[in-house]
Structure 1
């Protein structure tokens, strides 16, 4: 009589073992996320991710200046250089200015509450301000290299946009 019950116990143990094997990676991942949460991404600019402009067909580098002086002019030059430095992806990026300072060659966007600090904003085709760069970050060659690399990786990872 004991012989027929042995396979039934083995079957239950096998089933419980399979459930345990399936549950272990899920529980381990949850524990790792709870107690050893990974650090955030390393961006050179400040992440914003807020709606800031109307939708467009391309990504936009928007120049915002406190006054329309030398700082604003250097931001315009930086936006031109950053756009051209993207190589074959240059066509996916356009340049614009905020409503405060105008440039006859560039379209002006309406002033946005999320683009209120002077600097350079990267805006995605959906109209969301994605990152913000200060004049100080764009002032030296090393900072510009980091921004070029960061914009390049954003364009690469978002092939379907713009």
Structure 2
């Protein structure tokens, strides 16, 4: 019994003061509120402008990083050339982009000349009958490409035919790795140009993966000068190695971020 009495006394002492006066005092106390000011329309607009500007600068920085290898390779080749080093081919300035022109393959398939963009192109121009000079150029194109070793996959050799003359049957087996296209003669004349006192068919031409005609080799090349052409090709392939890979899909993705 004494233990129960002690427990009852403990609960009585620990019980909270629930007197009416205390409850009334708490109810009469005012509630505390915090008021936050809203930003003015001008300040909100200014913040949005700053965020938009920051996003644009970040996007520009990303594009510059992507294009840097392309710009660096061209700057190295065209500007930082060591003293005494000369190109065998003549650099074209300004460069001329591939025209938007329909072309037809020997099998009759139609495509666009711009579809050649994405690879280095070693071009020759000659009628379908293919005279001695044409045959020599086709042979040099094939040999120059093969001589590039593993880098040959980055180069296509192309024969552009500005007429409707049939290609000799005996020539067809040698063209299995070539790109042969019939193209409007006026389009070629507006895009490519020979050196003074020479004809269009007397030169080989070089187009970069971005689709720009950028070099013309001397007229009437022969085997004695082929090594000089090869040196120019190797130098350009080294300069573009950081962004140009075999295949049009790879170069299109990298270049557009280069260019482009």
TM-score (norm 2): 0.42
Q: CA RMSD in A?
A: 2.7
- The structure 2 residue matched to 1:120, chosen from 181, 199, 204, is 204
CA–CA distance in structure 2, aligned partners of residues 109 and 127 of structure 1: 18
- The structure 1 residue matched to 2:130, chosen from 49, 52, 68, is 68
- The structure 2 residue matched to 1:150, chosen from 232, 237, 244, is 232
The size of the alignment, in residue pairs, is 123
Alpha carbons of 1:131 and 1:109: their partners in 2 closer, same or farther (altered >3 Å)?
farther
Greater C-alpha radius of gyration? 2
- The structure 2 residue matched to 1:90, chosen from 137, 146, 152, is 152
Is 1:161 equivalent to 2:244 in the alignment?
yes
- The structure 2 residue matched to 1:58, chosen from 113, 119, 123, is 119
- The structure 2 residue matched to 1:107, chosen from 180, 184, 189, is 180
- Please state how far the C-alpha of 1:41 moved relative to its aligned partner: 6.1
- Please state how far the C-alpha of 1:132 moved relative to its aligned partner: 1.0
CA–CA distance in structure 2, aligned partners of residues 51 and 153 of structure 1: 21
- Please state how far the C-alpha of 1:40 moved relative to its aligned partner: 9.4
Q: String of CA shifts for 1:43-67, please: whole Å, max 9, x gaps.
A: 1111112223525221111111377
| Aligned partner of residue 79 in structure 1, secondary structure | helix
Question: Contact 2:118–2:211 (CA<8 Å) still a contact in 1?
Answer: no
Question: Contact 2:140–2:223 (CA<8 Å) still a contact in 1?
Answer: no
TM-score (norm 1): 0.64
- The structure 1 residue matched to 2:88, chosen from 44, 50, 56, is 44
